[in-house]
Chain A
C-alpha cells in the first residue's frame, strides 16, 4: 500500500471529542461526520483537506472514546493516512477495522512538518519526506493485521471466512 500526499500536522493527545464532537453523534452518516471533523481545534479542516492528504500527529492520537465515528470522519474527509508518534488503542483497532491507513513512527511524526509532501510505503514501513528528502523506517503491521487490511477490513475478513 503506497500513499503520497500533503501533510496537515497536529500535536499530542488529539482526542476523539475533537476529532468528532459528541454533539454530532446523533448520526452515523459519514459525510455529515466529515463536515464537522476536527472543527473544535481547526475550524477550516473540512474545507481545506484535499483527497489524499496525510495527517501527522504526536503521541496518543485518538485517545478517549471508542466512537468509530472518529476514524470514519477522518477517512471520509479525504485523509488517506495518519502518521503518529503513538495511537490510543481503541482508535488503532478501529482504524484497522474500517480500513483507515495508519502508521506509528515517532521519528517521522517529529520531523515531518505541516505542508510537506510525504510518500509512504506501508508494506515496507518506509516513510519519505519528499520536501526534505529524509527517510524513516516504521515497523510494518504483523501478518494477522495485514490480512485484515488486505481483505478491506474486519467485516470483509469475516465474510471471506478468514476469522476463525
Chain B
C-alpha cells in the first residue's frame, strides 16, 4: 500500500501543480496538428501511419514522463522521499504513476489519431490491444528508470530524450511493426514472436530497473 500512497501523493500534487498534464496535452495537440497539416489530402501508406502514431507517442512520453523524479529533484523534495520510504517503494510508486499516465495519454492519442487519420484502421483488434498494453508497460518502466537516472543531472531536458532513444528503440520498432500487422489484419499466430519479444523487453526492463534503482537513488 505504500507505493499506492506515493502514487496518491503524486496524483494530488499533479492536480495542484499541473507539472506533467499541461505539457502532455499541449504536445499531443501540437504533434497531431503538425502531422495532420503536413499530410493534407495525401494518402499515406499503412506502415507510415503506424510509424507516425508511435512518433507522437514517443515524443509525448518524452515531454511528460520525466516528471516522476525530475519534479521532486527540481523542487528539492527528493530528500523527503529518502527519509520516508525504501527505494523499492519509491520506484514502485513512481512507476504506478507513470503507468497510469502513459495509459491515459496513449488512449487519448490513439482515439484522436483514429478520428483524424482515416487510414488508421485496425483489422486485428486483439493484436493491437495486446501490443498497446505491452508497449505501454515497457514505455512506462523505461521512462521511469531513465527519469531517475537523469533527475540528478544538469541538462535534464536534453538528456532525457537522448538517453531514452537507444533504450526505447527496440520497443518502438517492434510496436510499429505490430501496429502495422494489426492494421493489415495479420493473424495472431503470425505475430506471436514479436509479441514475445515485447513481453521479454518489459520483463527485462522491470528486472533491471528494480536491481539498479537502489544505486541510482542513493548517490
Are A and B interaction partners? no
Q: Which residues of B pack against A, CB within 8 Å?
A: none
